[in-house]
Amino acid sequence: MKIKIQSYHTSDFPSELTTENYSVILWKGSGVFSVDDINYSYRGYNILFLSPYQKIKLASESDETIHVLFFHGDYYCIEYHKEEIACNGLLFNNIYLNPGVELSEENYNYILELFHHIKKEESEKHPFSESIIKTYIQLILAIGSKQKSSFENSVIAREKIPNKKAFEFQKLLESHFKNEKELSFYSSKLNITNNTLGKTVK
């Protein structure tokens, strides 16, 4: 199989899905999914990117339709297209990141429309259909990469503030620990409250 789109109701979704293909799973609702036995909760509009032979299980709180795009690595090579979409290591093949991405309603509907276009092109078997389908796949992956990288960057930005303060606190402590024992001295130097400093250095 080069490429295929399949739809399921969450109640009919296989208890454990694994395939030799890359998979892009699009759905909405709330519940829990697991990839390779690691659980993630989800809510709203979601897209999930799986590498070949990864296992997914889904426990949904509502009966929604799940749309799955399968494509073989020889049909669309994510490594070959890494310059355009930068998805390898972001969407696929990263054991440290949640493989799912929460989408805006607008992006969800747009990607769902692209799924329908892929299905239509696949059924038409026109000489140009393969090129068009690959362009649609690239667009789906680019939207996923954009949304996920924006989310990851915002998490990093939020984490930088306490880490920076912790580093500054450590430097102050090394310089003043013999003479200054009060937390208020350090918090005033860092322009934060005692409570914030306490949380920062936990």
When mean pLDDT is compared across 54-68, 76-90, 117-131, the lowest value belongs to 76-90
For residue range 147-178, list pLDDT tens digits in order.
Answer: 877 755 444 344 444 456 666 766 676 676 66
- As a whole number, mean pLDDT of residues 135-140 equals 91
pLDDT of 98 reads 79
- H or E segment to which residue 35 belongs: strand 22-35
pTM: 0.69
End-to-end CA distance of the chain: 52
- As a whole number, mean pLDDT of residues 164-193 equals 71
- As a whole number, mean pLDDT of residues 92-113 equals 85
- As a whole number, mean pLDDT of residues 40-69 equals 91
Short-list 5, 49, 41, CA closest to 23: 49
When mean pLDDT is compared across 38-47, 66-75, 86-95, the lowest value belongs to 86-95
pLDDT of 170 reads 67
> For residue 22, what is the DSSP state?
E
- Give the residue extent of every domain in the chain: 3-144, 157-200
CATH for 3-144 is 2.60.120.280
* pLDDT at residue 46 is higher than 60: yes
CA angle 132, 144, 125 (to 5 degrees): 20
Short-list 131, 127, 109, CA closest to 118: 131
pLDDT of 105 reads 94
Percentage with pLDDT > 90 across the chain: 36
